Amino acid sequence: MSQNLPHILLTGFDPFGGESINPSWEAVRFFDGRRIGGHRIIARQLPTEFAGSLRALKAAVREITPVMLLGVGQAGGRAQLSIERVAINVQDARIPDNAGVQPVDEPVIADGPAAYFSTLPIKAMLAALQAQGLPSEISQTAGTYVCNHIAYAMLHLASKRRGVRAGFIHIPYLPEQAAHQRGAASMAKADVVLALEIALRTAIATTVDRKLAAGAID
């Protein structure tokens, strides 16, 4: 691992909910060790566990001292790449995590603020993705499961480190997953990999976000 380049921590998750793969890790693992925009990408797989994912995240941050953190997670049922705007300080699990834990109405960080907004240039990232014809949106909720848990934790850790930015992207099922989910949307892994590279390059190059309308009515 080069000590001469600033590091970006890119994370995905292991499979959960009865799936044999998780598209987030299948895409994220491609970037491990690659150089993008003068930065070295370090990929880590996190367990789909509330406590375990936080331990693994903290260990990775201590190890590589990243200047940017980007979490990626599966959002089965979503048809587009979802760039998350906000992570909330709530854990409310509809199903148990991979450790069998199912927190309900508990905070991610006991003394943390109610929410954190992404510190990545989400509108510039959206524009760059759409310019390449990749279905994408700004999402107003990362849910209340392990993805939101990690999105919040990343932003909390980043807030304690000067100049460190963080954010989260949800991705759809891969086609082989959607084949077993009636009517579910999917996105090819090659397109997800391309999207993540575009998102990373845009985040690295953009310090002041664009002002574009990308809100939601409902």
- In-domain check, residue 91: yes
Are the CB atoms for 203 and 137 separated by under 8 Å?
A: no
Q: How many domains does the chain have?
A: 1
- In-domain check, residue 1: no
- In-domain check, residue 214: no
Q: Which domain holds residue 156?
A: 7-205
Distance of alpha carbon 126 from alpha carbon 124, whole angstroms: 5
- In-domain check, residue 211: no
DSSP 15-37: --TT-S--HHHHHHGGGTT-EET
Measured in degrees and rounded to the nearest 5, phi and psi for residue 58 equal -60, -40
Q: Which of 39, 49, 147, 156 is catalytic?
A: 147
**Would you call 2 helix, strand, or coil by DSSP?**
coil
- In-domain check, residue 213: no
Give CA separation, 22 vs 18, 27, 45, in Å. Answer: 10, 9, 10
Decide if 84 is catalytic: yes
Q: Which of 7, 39, 149, 170 is catalytic?
A: 170
Residue 79 C-alpha from the chain's centroid: 16
Distance of alpha carbon 145 from alpha carbon 92, whole angstroms: 6
- In-domain check, residue 216: no
Are the CB atoms for 40 and 6 separated by under 8 Å?
A: yes
- In-domain check, residue 86: yes
Decide if 147 is catalytic: yes
- In-domain check, residue 65: yes
List the CATH number of the domain containing 196. Answer: 3.40.630.20
Residue pLDDT, tens place only, 10-51: 999 999 998 999 999 999 999 999 999 999 999 999 999 999
Residue pLDDT, tens place only, 59-72: 999 999 999 999 99
Q: What is the dihedral of CA 53, 139, 119, 3, to 10 degrees?
A: 50
Q: Which of 7, 39, 49, 84 is catalytic?
A: 84
Decide if 63 is catalytic: no
Residue pLDDT, tens place only, 155-206: 999 999 999 999 999 999 999 999 888 778 999 999 999 999 999 999 999 9
Residue pLDDT, tens place only, 20-31: 999 999 999 999
